[in-house]
Amino acid sequence: METILTEAFSDPGAPATPWDLTDRQLGAAELYWLSTVRADGRPHVTPLVGVWLDQTFWFTTGAEEQKSRNLAHGTAVAVTTGANRWAEGIDVVLEGRASLRRDHTELEDVAAAYRSKYAGSWPFERTGEQLTAGGGHRADLWGVEVTKVLAFAKSPHTQTSYRF
């Protein structure tokens, strides 16, 4: 991974944000925003829960949901999360490609990560090649292979890029 400090958007002399701080923010976030593109080119942004595991961002969607329809024709995505405050914390933008995942081990590992992270609020279990939550709701699992991460730290103000 290559780390780059964007000096034009950083305080003079500020160091690049350490990866471990960005990595922790990605893992601890409760809510993320997924950006996809509709078939007609219009953007679509939606809040969702997800997990950051093994440097992959994981999320679920039902086949009938807009984000699933968007991903059917284009897999480039951006995912954002963070403190969303001017004076403190870190905001993060992930860029990459989402892919539908059917591997049983990945499904089981990510389901366990959801249950642990969200204290049972998302009680996913693997059912065949999908995840099932309470009430029998079935969802596809998507993993985002990250190509670039932008971290915006507030104190000192820095913009750091990580290229994978």
Q: Where are the domains of the chain?
A: 2-101+141-163
List the CATH code of the domain at 2-101+141-163: 2.30.110.10
Model confidence at 84, pLDDT cuts 50, 70, 90, reads confident
Question: 10 Å Cβ neighbour count for 112?
Answer: 15
Please check the confidence at residue 134 and state whether its pLDDT lies above 80: no
- Segment 86-129, tens digit of pLDDT: 888 999 999 999 999 999 999 999 999 999 999 979 899 999 99
What is the average pLDDT across 130-135? 88
Question: 10 Å Cβ neighbour count for 32?
Answer: 21
Q: What is the pLDDT, as a whole number, of residue 162?
A: 96
